Structure 1
Amino acid sequence: MLSREEMPSLLILFFMIFFLLESLVAIIENGFIIIVLGREWVQSWTLPPGDMILVSLGISRFFLQLAAILSNFFSYFSSTGRTNYAAVFWNFANVATFWFTTLLAIFYCVKISSFTNSIFLWMKWRISRYVPWLLLWSLLISFLTMISSSEKFYLVFQSPVNGNYSEKNTSEDKKLEYHVHFFQSLRLFVLIIPFFFFLISIILLISSLCQHLGNMQHHNSSPQDPRMQVHITSLKSFFFFLIFYISYFLPLIISILVPISIFSSLFWVWEIVTYAGISIYPLFQILNSSKLRRALNKMTQDLHKRNSTPK
């Protein structure tokens, strides 16, 4: 337990509460996506490939935010020297979230883009049937990353117990430092690869939509034309998709390269900034999906009827 001197200051406590509320919003939003799409998946034993990726992304973000809460508060309030297993699971959920987000971007890029390249046409024809396998491969990569992070935590927390202040201890410290740097590099590599594919997919998709929109304007299509409205809405959606994803990726990478003490108020501000996109973008997805929007409207109407019914 923390001593009185180590108890959080009022400023840190304020940021903790803000982070907790932000996390609860993200958990509720992603939980709604999981319930609506997951129920349909269970009832019909089938789901459109895009919704399949979306519900997988909702599950990973749900557990990512939950693991972030447990990991952060455990690290702050728990006594040192005990393994933070929530941080190990956070690594799994984090990598899964990155890969599922990339898969969603690649899927929309292939299905919506108007490129006539033979590779795009081949992928457009086959990508839907490969979605379940791509999701399984993403889970496998995330699981392997979790195993690596588990080994790192074991080295960090167990090596001080087994060593003594001798030359052997110095050798163990060097070995530990090498492993920590190795796992840090591996962690960066595992996150940068999906981000790279995500960035290419979104840029290609936005470029394709802009090109198609320009062709429609060249043919004097009215701004109120439904097809033009669909493309404008899609451009806005994927532009925000790019902004929210970068708003999560960059702070996360910076926090890996330049660690900040969890007992600093700056750490909690950084956590709020990092998870802002995860707490905002699910609502954007709900409002831009006709299926999720109908479910939200139905739930709102049911709650309104229940509250307005006299007891």
Structure 2
Amino acid sequence: MPSLLLLLFMIFFLLESMAAIIGNGFIIIVLGKEWVQCWTLPPGDMILASLGISRFFLQWATVLSNFYMYFFPSNKKLYFGIFWSFTNVATFWFTTWLAVFYCVKISSFTHPIFLWLKWRISRYVPWLLLWSLVICTLICISSFLKTYLVFQLPVTGNHSEKTTLDDRTRALQMHFFLPLQMFILLIPFFFFLVSIILLISSLYRHMGNMQHHSAGPQDLSMQVHTTTLKSLFFFLILYTSYVLPLIISLRARISVCSSQFWISQVVIYAGISIHPAFLILNNSRLRRALKKMLHDPEAA
């Protein structure tokens, strides 16, 4: 029987997950309808749809995996981790491409590389998403090999042979799979961080240039840039709140039956549950669909 504190965080995690599933499901439905009607989507919405799909299935994989491990701790034939790895890496890359896309489109840098990317980033979006799926597939194969080596290889012999196999399994986890997971998580986060820094730098420079002009119509543009800057900081906080606890949880394995585990899950997936609402409110197409649904639920 779980303690009151453990039960409280399990319920909170479940409610948080349902919010993420509903929010990302709404994004998928709205942009999916748009794609069915037009057979195409703008590049930014294409990334949003991909991100919504990956987060939707990531949250389902997390919920099923966590509760499965809690209620069936002795069953080691568990492959939820493979699907979780696929959707997790996809979420990382799609989030990164969203930041890169906004960075290239909004930034006011005049460097030839930025000008070249600004004109070509839209046509490269489908290819970036496709290569992200290829990377996710390779990671999925790696995760499958890990699961097979750890859980499926038969263990025979005396106690010393079993102990040796356990030591080799832990060594393989510490010296190969864990560094690989860390590497996979940090590369897209690095690109995301660089994109945000460049965009913040561009916005600050643009705001500095605007201060030299007379007040009036320029004030509206200043407000828009300030709002964008605040949004980016919020986006960065949410992404960091997902990355850092996830890396810590990979380094220090915590029992699924402990309160610390469920607290970490609440912290890790808080951003995924909050960010869909932020994306909906800041995307004109999604915002119109939400207003239409609230005013006329039957039409939605």
- How high is the TM-score relative to the length of structure 1? 0.92
Q: Output the CA distance in 2 between the equivalents of 1:261 and 1:170.
A: 21
Match of residue 251 from structure 2: 257
* Map of 2:206 onto structure 1: 212
CA contact under 8 A between 1:286 and 1:293: conserved in structure 2?
Answer: yes
User: How far apart, in 1, do the equivalents of 2:282 and 2:217 lie?
Assistant: 20
Shift of the alpha carbon at 1:260? Answer: 1.2
Amino acid at match of 2:47: I
Aligned residue among 238, 256, 264 for 2:232 = 238
Aligned partner of 1:124: which letter?
K
Q: Which amino acid aligns with 1:302?
A: D
What is the match of residue 264 of structure 2? 270
2:218 is the counterpart of 1:248: no
Task: Provide the alpha-carbon RMSD of the alignment.
Answer: 1.8
Q: CA deviation at 1:166?
A: 5.2
Task: Give, in angstroms, the shift of residue 167 of structure 1.
Answer: 5.2
Is the Cα–Cα contact under 8 Å of residues 81 and 157 in structure 1 kept in the other structure? no
Query: What is the alpha-carbon distance in structure 2 between the residues aligned to residue 188 and residue 45 of structure 1?
Result: 37
Which of 21, 42, 51 is 1:48 aligned to? 42
Tell me how far apart the structure 2 counterparts of residues 215 and 106 of structure 1 sit (CA, whole Å).
Answer: 24
Answer with 194-203 or 72-81: which moved more. 72-81
Query: Is 1:175 aligned to residue 168 of structure 2?
Result: yes
Deviations 1:198-227 (A, max 9, x none): 000001001101110111122134487332
Deviations along 1:252-277, one digit per CA (max 9) or x if unpaired, are 11111111111111110111011111
1:151 alignment counterpart: 145
Q: Secondary structure at the match of 1:162?
A: coil
Kindly tell me the number of residue pairs found equivalent between the two proteins.
299
Shift in alpha-carbon separation, 1:272–1:79, aligned structure 2, 3 A: closer
Separation in 1 of the partners of 2:298 and 2:123? 41
Secondary structure, in 3 states, of the residue corresponding to 2:211?
A: helix
Counterpart for residue 109 of structure 2: 115
Query: Does the CA contact (< 8 Å) of 2:65 and 2:80 recur in 1?
Result: yes
- Tell me which amino acid in the other structure corresponds to 1:226: L
Distance 2:290 2:10 in 1: 29
Q: Which runs of no fewer than 5 residues in structure 1 stay unpaired?
A: 1-6, 307-311
Distance in 1 between the 2:130 and 2:237 partners?
Answer: 27
1:12-23 maps to which residues of 2 (within 5 A)? 12-23=6-17
1:30-41 matches, within 5 Å, as 30-41=24-35
Q: Choose from 92, 97, 105 the match for 1:103.
A: 97
CA distance in 2, matches of 1:14, 1:183: 33
Q: Is the 8 A contact 2:9 2:259 kept in 1?
A: yes
In 2, the alpha carbon distance for the partners of 1:94 and 1:305 equals 34
Residues 1:165 and 2:170 are matched in the alignment: no
Would the aligned equivalents of 2:51 and 2:95 in 1 still touch at CA under 8 Å?
Answer: yes
| Matched residue type, 1:241 | F
1:142 has 2:136 as partner: yes
SS in 2 for 1:218: coil
Runs of 4+ in 1 over 6 A off after TM superposition: none
The alpha-carbon distance between structure 1 residues 10 and 129, as it changes in their structure 2 partners (threshold 3 A), is: same
